[in-house]
Chain A
Amino acid sequence: MKTLLRNNNLKVFFFVLALAWLQTGMVFAQQIRAVATWPALADITRQIGKELVNVESLATGVEDPHGVPVKPSFVPRLNRADVLILIGLNDEHSWLPALLEVANNSKILPGRPGYIDCSLGISVLEVPNRLDRAEGDLHPNGNPHYLLDPVRAKIVAQNIATGLTRNFPQHQQAFDKNLKAYVAELDNWIVRWEKAAAPLRGVKFVEYHPEWAYLADRFGMKLVGSVELKPGIEPTPNHIVELVQQIKQEKAQLLIFGAQNPRLPQQIASETGIKVVRLYSGGGSQPETDTYIKWIDYTVRTLVQSVS
């Protein structure tokens, strides 16, 4: 052992190792550690923070928003995070609170500066008139799937910039500049999407779960019904029979589902001829949806192709 300790090569090796470790720490220390709950939020954060921010998403985008597993592997990421960016409106209620409970990071607890709730200032749709579980698995403050509306996404970008500035005021100029550029880019895309989505105006559709209200609101689609009996409640056979009749009467053209089981949509399609489209409401589920803009573009294109 003594011989080993006297070995100069070994000393140099450990010195270099320590130096390398310190340098790695310094590189990490320079970047803001951000954790977003969904890939689309992670991408918008990346656009605002650019090289100043290192962003990770907890969910991959393919999960059912109510079925994201409470993985302990998320805990170390939350433990080290400087900021947490989330959808809010109870979207993450089934999994995030349990993780925050053990993450030992008071910076990102609700109400703290690092807790960036992107729903602030969003004009929320489908706020329940009656808060009662007899109405299903309700979101008390309204439908949380507002990211599907690119106009509302501009508010999200603003919220993220505000949240990052609140925590790192020294970078305000950079965040403001990046926000301006991103909003301008979004504006350009919104004009394109509005043109491209013209065929969707007035299209009647059915959704599996209440996820598509904001997209429909933006592009003028009309909701006819839901596969679920109530939000989060699987349908009864009677409900399916009624829905099939409704689809036929209303001449609904599209049935949109995401992380749900395709069995029922396919069954309804075989009985009504309605076109079934699988789209995820969290972004990032596939390579062509790995940025917010690519995700919305893919969604609009897919829907337009489905009705044309």
Chain B
Amino acid sequence: MNIFSGRKFSNVFIFGLVLLLLAPRLSFAQASEMESLRALVKDMQQQLEKALNRIDQLEKEKANDSAKIGQVEKSIQAVQSAPSILNPAIGLVLDADIEKLGKAGGNFNFRSAELGLAAAVDPYARMYAFFTGSNQGFEVEEAAAITTSLPYNLTAKGGRFFADFGRFPKYHVHELPFVNQPLSIQRMVGGESQADGAEVNYLFPTPFFLRATFGGYNKIGADNEQVSNLTPRAASRFTYLGRLNTYFDLTDNQSIELGTSLAYTPSVRLPGDASGGDRILGGVDLTYRYQPLASTVYQGFTWGSEFYNNSQRFPFDVEVSDPDDPSIVTTQSVGKRRRSYGGYTYGELKLNKNWSTGFLFDYAPVVDNPSQRTLSYSPYVTWYLSEFNRLRFQYSYLNNNFSVDKAEKGNQFFVQWTTVIGAHTHGFLTR
């Protein structure tokens, strides 16, 4: 084929000419495009490096986090595989002291070992129990179920528990800020406010804290022997309780709490007083707290007081002359109403995280003979080795205006050691 011949040649010639004319332009365009491409590639390279570095960093973090999550998952699995997973929280409190009681002498006193259990029952209730062994024997101190889902701000409680009377009557003794329960509580309430019965609490929908309690029980008082827990009785011989409790923040660091309680038993029949009569046990409690928020662990002051009054009939032996023959005198038992008033006041100062000191004054009348009373004065120092290990040193002076056992008067010294293992809390009421 001859390309130089005829029309074909002219076509090729023209194409070559056009190519020659365009060639320089093409090379210029290619050069600038190359430049921009180079810049683009360089930029992309930099971005890629950055991205790779970031990926490396994230992968490192992820590996680190995965390792930690793995560690946590492992520990969670270990806990979950344990057969005790649904067991309640368990705690044990040991409370012991060495004491010297006036002229009666000294004693190592195993005060109590309290085993506590607590857990949710189901979505509607929780339950707790405290079993106490002491020198006096073994006892179910509390075992109660409490609702968690009642409407209208109501909570119901049933079983054996410390009735919501006053402030310190519902504290377990080892929880008190001093060694012994004030004598006024022992004599007027009957010790801890232990009660077999039922209680309903109502939280008022107010902007401030206001709570009411209504209860019905066989009796109130762990040591109250006026009524038996075992004998059925008429409705008039149960004890009914009403309590109102409120609280106000005076400032961020200061607060005041006020409570008033009334326990009413329509009919108490003591041996020797067949006619019986009602019993009214009233109480007012007031607590002032200074808790500087920035140092609650190191500083603080609490002043707390409770006043009680008890009104009921007690049997008394009276000598009655025979109307026909006045020389014949017989002894008869008659019931007389006695009103007694008593209470305590104490102040406690937190010195630092581990030490606090306080003073308790207690006025305790004898309820069936209010003219007889005991005054006690008790300075004390508490050393918290930790939250669960506490030593307390207390001196008490007991002044009686009537004859008592020599262990219950004069100078008394106590060194108390309280230790806790496991879970331990008595909840909001004894905060």
Contacts and interface: CB of A to CB of B under 8 A. Distances in A.
Contact of A79 (B149, B205, B295): B205
A41 B155 CA distance: 30
Q: Is the interface of B mostly helix, strand, loop or mixed?
A: mixed
Given A127-B71, A234-B353, A106 B149 contact: yes
A232 B389 CA distance: 13
A298 B296 CA distance: 24
A213 to B, nearest CB: 11
Given A71-B247, A75-B209, A234-B353, A64 B297 contact: yes
A11 B14 CA distance: 108
Contact of A127 (B72, B154, B249, B255): B72
Contact of A123 (B65, B203, B205, B248): B65
A72 B72 contact: no
Nearest to A63: B293
A64 B296 contact: yes
Interface in B183-224: 201, 203, 205-209, 211
Interface string B124-163: 0000000000000000000000001110011100000000
A233 B384 CA distance: 10
Contact of A124 (B72, B289, B295): B72
Nearest to B386: A233
A24 B388 CA distance: 47
B210 to A, nearest CB: 8
A72 B247 CA distance: 6
Interface in A180-239: 232-234
A242 interface: no
B67 to A, nearest CB: 9
A133 interface: yes
B354 A133 contact: no
Interface string A37-72: 000000000000000000000001011101111111
A124 B68 contact: yes
B257 to A, nearest CB: 7
Interface string B350-386: 0011100000000000000000000000000000001
A45 to B, nearest CB: 21
Contacts of B208: 73, 76
Interface string A253-271: 0000001110000000000
Nearest to A152: B65
A101 B249 contact: no
A104 interface: yes
A102 interface: yes
Interface residues of B, number: 46
A64 B352 CA distance: 14
B352 A232 contact: no
Interface in B64-102: 64-65, 68-69, 71-72, 75
A10 interface: no
Nearest to B429: A102
A260 to B, nearest CB: 8
A205 to B, nearest CB: 20
Contacts of A273: none
B294 A62 contact: yes
Contact of B209 (A67, A76, A101, A259): A76
Given A76-B208, A106-B148, A99 B428 contact: yes
A109 interface: yes
A73 B297 contact: no
Nearest to B299: A261
Contacts of B296: 63-64, 67-69
A59 to B, nearest CB: 8
A53 to B, nearest CB: 19
Nearest to B211: A102
B72 A66 contact: no
A232 to B, nearest CB: 7
Contacts of A97: 425
Contacts of B428: 70, 98-99, 101-102
B155 A102 contact: yes
B298 A261 contact: yes
A123 B68 contact: yes
Contacts of A79: 153, 203, 205
28 contacts: A60-B252, A62-B293, A63-B293, A64-B295, A69-B289, A69-B293, A72-B257, A73-B248, A75-B211, A76-B206, A76-B207, A76-B209, A80-B205, A98-B427, A99-B428, A102-B155, A102-B203, A106-B149, A125-B68, A133-B388, A137-B386, A141-B72, A232-B387, A233-B386, A234-B354, A259-B297, A260-B297, A261-B353
Question: Which 8 pairs show the lowest CB-CB distances between chains A and B?
Answer: A72-B247, A72-B209, A67-B296, A67-B297, A123-B65, A62-B294, A98-B428, A70-B431
Interface of A: 60, 62-64, 66-73, 75-76, 79-80, 97-99, 101-104, 106, 109, 123-125, 127, 133, 137, 141-142, 232-234, 259-261
Given A63-B294, A102-B201, A142-B72, 14 more contacts: A60-B293, A69-B289, A72-B257, A73-B248, A73-B249, A76-B203, A76-B205, A80-B205, A98-B428, A123-B68, A125-B68, A127-B71, A133-B421, A137-B387
